[in-house]
Amino acid sequence: MPTKKLEFYLSLKIAFIYFLVGSLYIIFSDILLEKMLPPETVTEFQSYKGLAYVFLTSFLLFFLLKNNLKKINTSEQKYRLLADHSKDLIFLVNPDSEIVYLSPSVKDLLGYEVSEAIGRKKYDFIHPDDLKKVENNINDLLLKGKSKPITYRVKNKANDYIWFESLKELITKNNKVIGIVSSCRDVTERVEANRAIKNYQKSLQNLTTEIFLVEEKQRKEIAANIHDHLSQSLVISKMKLKDLRENTSLKNHVSDIDFINTHITDALENSRKITYDLCPPVLYQLGIIDTMHWFSDKIEEQYHIKVEFTTNIESIQLDDNELISIYRSIQEIVTNSIKHANASLIHIDFKFVDEGLNILVSDNGKGFNVDNILSNKILSNGFGLFTLKERINNLKGTVNITSKPIIETGTIVKIFIYLQ
């Protein structure tokens, strides 16, 4: 039946029922009153007045119902028009997870006809690995009344899976859930693009790690070459000069010999310093804990800054990548404290926990604006905290930096390294 005729006959039916019930009520009420009361107390034409009133109100009721039904149908048509022509997939499920409504866009998105999906369980279309995610999302919706959008894979008619982003809303009646409506959007291209970006990032991280390890290997080789050749040659030269100084026939050249010996001693000391700066032998010989003790003493002696190192472990097993990355990270933080924070006290703490290694480095310097770490200005100046984060991220670790330059409470750097 057309919508306009349905509106007319439904309104007419309700108004007629109202008129019939009202009329019978008035007629029987008058008969009852005539029997119970004396005739002189009953108002003349009372029933006719009541019937006229009922007829008039029935007439008004008919027009009100007709107008309201027209508005309801118009609103319903608008919503259905939006749902039927939406590029997104809109579907409604009942409390048993059966699909009771599906927008026609299912044909374009998944290849199904509406009739092929109506009555089926929605879980029939979801990838098995994503079922738990969807169930948890629905549980949150039922518990909190709202849920966050989620992405999951849905099987199309060709048995391929595409990625949907879905947002769900509860439909309730008398405080009882009667269904869940979902709006889904195909985000396969976005998911695949994000996956490609993550793969590129992973490749870049691997490349960064390889470059770092190659650089450290070269440092190690140069340090070993200086130690094994240059330093040894300088030591031999000092020994030869000592023999020449003791030669009585060269007494007239003692001052020249001493001059040469002094410069060779300085060169030997500088070669040792360069060796330790490039790659401290203690790091690979004794490990990170003993290296931190040596490093703290070295900084105190070189810069006259108090450095405290505390730890709850005597030794820890690390591979070469973890070993050199942790050492360079600590070195970078301490160097920044010395150069930029004007600190007089630096504290380094190592604590081993069940999942890995907690490292805390703090100073009492003037602090800095953490938000500017990634700015182009800081990066162009070679500020090392960006490199620090990249290095720790490559170890699958985390870095947290806290600094308050306004009240000058110093800087705290917390590092956590997951260890297998």
pLDDT of residue 145: 83
Q: Helix and strand tally (H, E) in the chain? A: 13, 10
Cβ contact 127:152 at 8 Å: yes
Per-residue pLDDT tens over the stretch 120-136: 998 999 999 999 999 99
Strands (E), 231-387: 306-311, 345-352, 356-363
CA distances from 349 to 308, 346, 412 (A): 8, 10, 11
Per-residue pLDDT tens over the stretch 232-245: 888 888 898 888 88
CA distances from 320 to 212, 317, 350, 412 (A): 11, 10, 18, 26
Cβ contact 70:77 at 8 Å: no
Overall pTM surpassing 0.75 (yes/no): no
* pLDDT above 70 for 95: yes
Residues paired with residue 268 on neighbouring β-strands, in sequence order:
none
pLDDT of residue 250: 81
Cα–Cα distance measured from residue 221 to residue 234, given in angstroms and rounded to the nearest whole number: 19
List Cβ neighbours of 249 (8 Å cut-off, separation of 6 or more).
Answer: none
Give the CA dihedral 56, 57, 62, 65, nearest 10 degrees: 160
Cα–Cα distance measured from residue 149 to residue 187, given in angstroms and rounded to the nearest whole number: 12
Q: Is pLDDT larger for residue 144 or for residue 80?
A: 144
pLDDT of residue 378: 44
Cα–Cα distance measured from residue 94 to residue 172, given in angstroms and rounded to the nearest whole number: 11
Residues paired with residue 415 on neighbouring β-strands, in sequence order:
359, 399
pLDDT of residue 160: 92
pLDDT of residue 3: 56
Per-residue pLDDT tens over the stretch 135-176: 999 988 888 888 889 999 999 999 999 999 998 888 888 888
Structure token pair of residue 335 = 């160097």
